[in-house]
A and B are shown apart, each in its own frame.
Chain A
């Protein structure tokens, strides 16, 4: 588990994170939402240790804190812009090589499999592959050193529908492989239904951090964020006196509405 305790971050006299506490359980998918400027990226940077909190601490039980960088991997926005090597293979192999790990080729193949890419891509230049593939190669380039935790900052930004669906599949896959995933995203249409917890940050303050089923989506909407279409629909129904809770998929929303109608009759 990752425990964030009373973390404050200030920058140029401005408070970016204000006394934030939250726990993230292993092998789960955690979603961080919040309007632009809420502090989501800073929050991820604190967790991985790139930003040192002015107050408070991040506790990662089981293991040495100095080992943190090997146990976590982070992808910032548009990670594919950081490519600088000639072949996809080299990009993915770089992290385990620089950490003096063994079985590099094996690690590269495993990472590639986790992001649903075929080995054919390894000899290609990272500049000549498709946009969606680039994003997944960037993800493979941190999976190759086998971190337990993957932190993703806006992993869907700029991807088309197909790319987004692929990425969602990969994230599910990571959870099945026993990885913990923390995603900061304002695009949640596709990810809401598969995440285990939802954390809302607004202007550096933590509003809540709860299991997905306990999430107050009204609060998220009022904060200026997106909510899935199914939630928007249920909010409109609620305004008309029909309660179907907060379904996270369209199918579930329609199913619940049908059931409610049946019960009424």
Chain B
């Protein structure tokens, strides 16, 4: 698991994250939300070992995250970004999947087996030989996820990955999430995506201001999403039968 102890991230005299104390298990499905500039992306980067805390420690499976080698971190936590092109390196979808596998030190046979498995799990047959840059926005994002899932990390961070996707592609990705065997941190601005997680974290101004279960929140209509506004108004107007 990840244990964040009194973590601060400071940049140019500004505290981006402050006093963050958190434990997150590798199998947990966590949604992280909060306004722009509240520190969500930095928390995701911390958990993926891309940045280190300015103060405080992050202990991963009993060892300080700073003491891991990058390839070992990649086996523990993967990250998918909002703009998938940021993580493409090769010129075909197949090579993109293989590239990550090579980096975590798999041998040739293991790589081939793993790639075949991912190809069928994500339905990538038609895209396999295409350049990732030629794909549509939704396809790119699915390939980016596939290349991370292929490495079979214990935990994946998804940083607002549905921002540019239409409803159909978003729904496809939600289906893929359900198939994942690992836990994840799903960073989003969209309150409709809160049910993706079992646990909700809310950041405001660098601090965790909410940490709790999603289920009771969904029942209480407390989350200020358009759908909940509609439900609340129906109740107010005595139209509960249409909920």
Interface residues of A (CB under 8 A from B): 34-37, 77, 130-132, 154, 157-163, 186, 189, 221, 224-226, 228-230, 233, 237, 250-251, 253-254, 257-258, 261
- Looking at the complex, which one of A34, A132, A154, A237 makes contact with B164 (CB distance below 8 Å)? A154
Of the A-B pairs whose beta carbons lie under 8 Å apart in the complex, a sample of 5, sorted by A's number, is A37-B136, A186-B164, A250-B233, A254-B233, A258-B237
Task: List 13 other contacts, CB 8 Å, given A36-B138, A130-B36.
Answer: A37-B138, A154-B164, A160-B35, A224-B169, A226-B166, A228-B226, A237-B242, A250-B226, A250-B229, A250-B230, A254-B233, A254-B239, A258-B239
Are B169 and A36 within 8 A (Cβ)?
yes
Chain A residue nearest to B160 in the complex (CB): A158
Are A233 and B230 within 8 A (Cβ)?
yes
CA distance A88 to B239 in the complex (A): 50
Q: Which residues of A contact B169 (CB under 8 A)?
A: 35-36, 224
Q: Which residues of B contact A189 (CB under 8 A)?
A: 226
Are A261 and B239 within 8 A (Cβ)?
yes
Chain A residue nearest to B224 in the complex (CB): A161
Q: Which residues of B contact A250 (CB under 8 A)?
A: 226, 229-230, 233
Q: Which residues of B contact A230 (CB under 8 A)?
A: 230
- Looking at the complex, which one of B37, B167, B224 makes contact with A224 (CB distance below 8 Å)? B167
CA distance A154 to B162 in the complex (A): 13
Are A36 and B226 within 8 A (Cβ)?
no
Chain B residue nearest to A226 in the complex (CB): B167
Q: Which residues of A contact B229 (CB under 8 A)?
A: 229, 250
3 closest A-B pairs by CB: A224-B168, A131-B36, A37-B136
CA distance A35 to B167 in the complex (A): 8
| A14 → chain B closest CB, angstroms | 9
Interface residues of B (CB under 8 A from A): 34-37, 82, 136-138, 160, 163-169, 189, 224, 226-227, 229-230, 233-234, 237, 239, 242
CA distance A154 to B189 in the complex (A): 15
Q: Which residues of A contact B82 (CB under 8 A)?
A: 158
Are B36 and A163 within 8 A (Cβ)?
yes
CA distance A154 to B168 in the complex (A): 17
Are B137 and A159 within 8 A (Cβ)?
no
| B127 → chain A closest CB, angstroms | 13
Chain B residue nearest to A186 in the complex (CB): B166
Given contacts A250-B233, A251-B233, contact A36 B137 (CB under 8 A): yes
Q: Which residues of A contact B37 (CB under 8 A)?
A: 130-131
Q: Which residues of B contact A154 (CB under 8 A)?
A: 164
- Looking at the complex, which one of A157, A226, A228, A233 makes contact with B163 (CB distance below 8 Å)? A157
Chain B residue nearest to A227 in the complex (CB): B167
CA distance A186 to B168 in the complex (A): 11
Q: Which residues of A contact B230 (CB under 8 A)?
A: 229-230, 233, 250, 253-254
- Looking at the complex, which one of A35, A157, A161, A258 makes contact with B166 (CB distance below 8 Å)? A35
CA distance A5 to B158 in the complex (A): 42
Q: Which residues of A contact B168 (CB under 8 A)?
A: 35, 224
- Looking at the complex, which one of B189, B233, B234 makes contact with A160 (CB distance below 8 Å)? B189
Q: Which residues of B contact A77 (CB under 8 A)?
A: 164
- Looking at the complex, which one of B34, B137, B160, B226 makes contact with A37 (CB distance below 8 Å)? B137
CA distance A77 to B85 in the complex (A): 15
- Looking at the complex, which one of A157, A163, A225, A254 makes contact with B237 (CB distance below 8 Å)? A254
CA distance A258 to B240 in the complex (A): 12
Given contacts A130-B36, A257-B242, contact A229 B227 (CB under 8 A): yes
Given contacts A130-B36, A257-B239, A261-B239, contact A158 B167 (CB under 8 A): no
| A26 → chain B closest CB, angstroms | 29
Q: Which residues of A contact B36 (CB under 8 A)?
A: 130-132, 158-160, 163
Chain A residue nearest to B242 in the complex (CB): A257
Q: Which residues of B contact A229 (CB under 8 A)?
A: 226-227, 229-230
Chain A residue nearest to B12 in the complex (CB): A128
Given contacts A224-B169, A237-B242, A261-B239, contact A36 B136 (CB under 8 A): yes
Q: Which residues of B contact A225 (CB under 8 A)?
A: 166-167
Q: Which residues of B contact A254 (CB under 8 A)?
A: 230, 233-234, 237, 239
Chain A residue nearest to B232 in the complex (CB): A250
Q: Which residues of A contact B234 (CB under 8 A)?
A: 254, 257
CA distance A175 to B162 in the complex (A): 30
Given contacts A160-B35, A250-B229, A250-B230, contact A36 B239 (CB under 8 A): no
Q: Which residues of B contact A258 (CB under 8 A)?
A: 237, 239
Q: Which residues of B contact A253 (CB under 8 A)?
A: 230
Chain A residue nearest to B228 in the complex (CB): A229
